[in-house]
Amino acid sequence: MTSPNPDNAAIRDLEEAVSDAPTPLRPLDSGAATPAAAPTTGTGHTVTLKGVKSFYGDAMAVKGVDLEYRANEVTAMIGPSGCGKSTLLRSINRMHEEIPGARVEGEILLDGVDINAAGTDVVAIRRMIGMVFQRPNPFPTMSIRENVAAGLRFNKIKDVDHDERVEWALRGAGLWDEVKDRLDAPGVGLSGGQQQRLCIARTIAIKPDVILMDEPCSALDPIATLKVEELIQELKQEFTIVLVTHNMQQAARVGDRTAFMYLGDLVEAGPTDKIFTNPEDPRTEEYVSGKFS
Ligand SMILES: Nc1ncnc2c1ncn2[C@@H]1O[C@H](COP(=O)(O)OP(=O)(O)OP(=O)(O)O)[C@@H](O)[C@H]1O
Ligand SMILES: [Mg+2]
């Protein structure tokens, strides 16, 4: 489904600019707020939202969201078009602030550290909180191998063997067997579903803590969608995943927890089974049963 955004082209440019941006690897330089060493659960990382409000000028698109994205879980974000899902995601990796007049209030904590604290290194945040967009956007002039290694080069990650990491990321993205014999062919020569998995490989290659996915399957056919869904299930062993989707079946299949947004509010969040079978709020019930969209 397409957004009703007044400024869709600008958002697309922003997605490309952020994907393209050189992101030198620097430790979180957050002044008074030192990054917490220990993640809260398992090996993964938790993102906690406290009263998050996102504005475009005076218009509040996200109206005070409190939510925890748990480590090693997939949280599905659902809600009608225009309810603020993409705005919230872009707030979480600090892309939102790149839009003229846009700002965020409230706290967004990665393992307890406020990502918006004064002095925090934005590029480091984007390295730790990766994003996969609706439209696969491989770098057009780069080969498959170069696309996956791009983040390593931009971040000047030299202490790993790039070829090994490229293979690891492509295997992780479920694409290795399909491309291992043509790593030097252009990334844009792949099918749409393969390109999306290439973008996922590019995102995981730098081993972020959290992966934000904004309708990653909306441009894919059912088979490619299934592959990406299987991949998401595997990726949660290593990453915390936030998945925006308009596809209720996808949320039910892949989400450990589901959060329902409506008109900028988080209406409710909980275990996916509960949201789909026994939600607290009548608006959630109406939405998941297809009474409005
Ligand atoms: N660049 C922008 N400038 C001004 N308003 C915007 C901008 N982008 C989004 N909005 C507005 O913010 C609100 C939330 O939009 P957002 O794109 O976050 O919704 P969404 O839930 O992701 O929708 P969809 O499911 O269609 O992708 C909408 O009212 C939208 O028109
Ligand atoms: Mg959106």
Q: In the prediction, which pLDDT does 32 show?
A: 32
CA distance 89 to 214: 8
Give the residue from 174, 189, 183, 180 showing the smallest Cα distance to 140: 189
111: alpha, beta or left, given left = phi > 0 and alpha = psi -120 to 50? left
Q: In the prediction, which pLDDT does 168 show?
A: 93
Q: How many domains does the chain have?
A: 1
The whole-model pTM stands at: 0.86
User: Does residue 137 lie in a domain region?
Assistant: yes
Q: In the prediction, which pLDDT does 141 show?
A: 95
Given ligand 1 and candidates 1, 3, 247, which is best to mutate, with the most ligand atoms within 8 Å of its CB?
3
User: Does residue 13 lie in a domain region?
Assistant: yes
Q: In the prediction, which pLDDT does 223 show?
A: 86
Q: Tell me how far the alpha carbon of residue 248 is from its chain's centroid.
A: 18
Name the closest ligand to CA 95: 1
Name residue 59's beta-bridge partners.
56
Q: In the prediction, which pLDDT does 38 show?
A: 37
Distance 217 CA to ligand 2 centre (A): 13
Backbone angles phi, psi at 47, to 5 degrees: -115, 130
User: Which helix (H) or strand (E) element contains residue 60?
Assistant: strand 59-69
Ligand 1 atom nearest to CA at 246: 25
User: Does residue 72 lie in a domain region?
Assistant: yes
- Series of mean pLDDT values for 10-residue runs along the chain (293 residues): 51 62 38 36 82 98 98 97 97 95 97 94 92 92 96 88 95 92 97 93 93 91 87 92 96 97 98 97 95 70
Q: Are 137 and 199 in contact (CB under 8 A)?
A: yes
Q: In the prediction, which pLDDT does 263 show?
A: 97
Q: Is the CB of residue 6 below 6 angstroms from any atom belonging to ligand 1?
A: yes
User: Does residue 2 lie in a domain region?
Assistant: no
Q: In the prediction, which pLDDT does 147 show?
A: 97
Q: What's the Cα-to-Cα distance from 79 to each of 55, 248, 251, 269, rounded to whole Å?
A: 18, 10, 11, 12
User: Does residue 122 lie in a domain region?
Assistant: yes
Distance 100 CA to ligand 2 centre (A): 18
For residue 67, what are the domain limits? 8-288
CATH of the domain at 68: 3.40.50.300
Q: In the prediction, which pLDDT does 1 show?
A: 42
Given ligand 1 and candidates 87, 260, 287, which is best to mutate, with the most ligand atoms within 8 Å of its CB?
87
> Length of the chain, please?
293
User: Does residue 293 lie in a domain region?
Assistant: no
Give residue for tokens 């608006």.
283
User: Does residue 146 lie in a domain region?
Assistant: yes
Q: Is the CB of residue 78 below 6 angstroms from any atom belonging to ligand 1?
A: no
